[in-house]
């Protein structure tokens, strides 16, 4: 059974994950109208992934005797000066999500809710990966600079971007 404190915190995270999905969706739309097909496809896939993160939380809350709440979302930014600015905002958002997950973990320990703590470890590892992907993308963008050929190759290659992190690269 979830405490009211944990239920409220998890419902807040549900909203954050939903907003993350919307942010990625807005970025996908921006990239698509700019002709960045690879970036837009990457963002559409990320939007779907964030929605899955939200659904996983919803199911957990409901299964543990709480009531998942679907709340109003903040409208995401839909205009960017450049694709670099878009990815910088994406990275900043992922850092924000990581901080929110860390706060949730802290609350679960304070409440001595070890089932929720255990459940949240997947999100902790996921955020390590999300931040690493965003950081890798920014590194590539900085390498490209203003080179249009580099942007073309980046757009083509981003759909197949894979980043192995310490959290995902566990020894067998």
- Domain range spanning residue 56? 4-70+79-160
Q: Is 98 domain-assigned?
A: yes
How high is the pLDDT of residue 171? 47
Q: How many domains does the chain have?
A: 1
The answer to whether the beta carbons of residues 28 and 44 sit under 8 Å apart is yes
In a domain, 168, yes or no: no
- pLDDT at position 146 is 81
DSSP string, 63-98: HTT--------PPPP---S-HHHHHHHHHHHHHHHH
Residue 38 in domain:
yes
Q: Please check whether residue 169 lies inside any domain of the structure.
A: no
CB 62 within 8 A of CB 95: no
- Give the pLDDT of residue 164: 65
Does the residue 171 lie in any domain? Answer: no
Q: Answer yes or no: pTM beyond 0.85.
A: yes
- Collapsing DSSP to helix, strand or coil, 53 comes out as helix
d(CA 145, CA 149): 10
Q: What is the CATH number for 111?
A: 1.20.1260.10
User: What is the mean pLDDT, run by run of 10 residues, along the chain of 172 residues?
Assistant: 96 98 97 94 96 98 97 93 94 97 98 97 96 93 87 85 62 46
Task: Specify if 23 maps to a domain.
Answer: yes
The answer to whether position 172 is within a domain reads no
């Amino acid at each position: 059974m979830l405490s009211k404190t944990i239920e409220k915190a998890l419902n807040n995270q549900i909203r954050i994950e939903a907003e993350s999905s919307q942010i990625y969706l807005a970025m996908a739309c921006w990239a698509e109208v700019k002709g960045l097909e690879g970036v837009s496809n990457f963002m559409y896939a990320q939007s779907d992934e964030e929605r899955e993160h939200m659904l996983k939380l919803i199911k957990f809350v409901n299964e543990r005797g709480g009531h998942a709440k679907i709340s109003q979302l903040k409208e995401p930014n839909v205009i960017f000066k450049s694709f670099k600015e878009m990815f910088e905002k994406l990275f900043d958002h992922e850092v924000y999500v990581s901080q929110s997950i860390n706060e949730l973990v802290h609350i679960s320990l304070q409440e001595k809710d070890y089932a929720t703590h255990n459940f949240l470890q997947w999100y902790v590892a996921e955020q390590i990966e999300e931040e690493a992907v965003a950081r890798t993308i920014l590194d590539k963008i900085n390498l490209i600079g203003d080179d249009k050929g580099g942007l073309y190759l980046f757009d083509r290659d981003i759909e197949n971007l894979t980043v192995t992190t310490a959290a995902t690269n566990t020894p067998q």
